[in-house]
Amino acid sequence: MKLRTSSSHTIEIAAPVERCLHLFTPIGEERWVDGWKPRYVMPADGRTEPGMVFTTGSGDDFTIWTLVDFDEHVHRARYARVTPATRSAIVDVQCTGSADGASTSVQVSYTVTALAPQGVPALAPYQGLAFVEMIEGWRKAIEAKLPELS
């Protein structure tokens, strides 16, 4: 039984790298993820900074997030998240601007660990085609709202 999985997928966003990185912050995701309503613990205003803590979900899906690293110079955000009922994960978002500055490649990587054997089914969305489809869904959601995200 495999208790850990790692996956990575890259999407292209038709926006400059400086703009794209902020789409992958908790406040930025509120603008394009339907139903995304983080509860900000520290700082309470949801300001993006390394060490910020917020929560999402409820019941078995209650998740505690920490922004471990946020570097605007290298266009990277790295999160640690724990869903105590099932899994722990590291989420890494690396944005790379195109040569002309008009678009951005966004590599999203997840390393997810089941916290017990009964948590193994929770790894399925982070593997293979399911993971690719999830991240491609992010691309479609961003593209659909890109004009209003300026």
- Cβ atoms 69, 50 nearer than 8 A: yes
Q: How many domains are there within the chain?
A: 1
Indicate whether 149 belongs to any domain. no
Q: How many residues does the chain have?
A: 150
Percentage of residues in the chain having pLDDT higher than 70: 99
85 in the Ramachandran plot: left (φ > 0), alpha (ψ -120 to 50) or beta?
Answer: alpha
> pLDDT tens digit string along 90-134?
999 999 999 999 999 999 999 999 999 999 999 999 999 999 999
The mean pLDDT value of the chain amounts to 95
- Look at residue 116 and tell me if it is in a domain: yes
CATH number at residue 82: 3.30.530.20
Residue 150 lies in a domain: no
Q: First and final CA of the chain: distance in angstroms?
A: 45
- Residue-number span of the structural domain to which 8 is assigned: 4-144
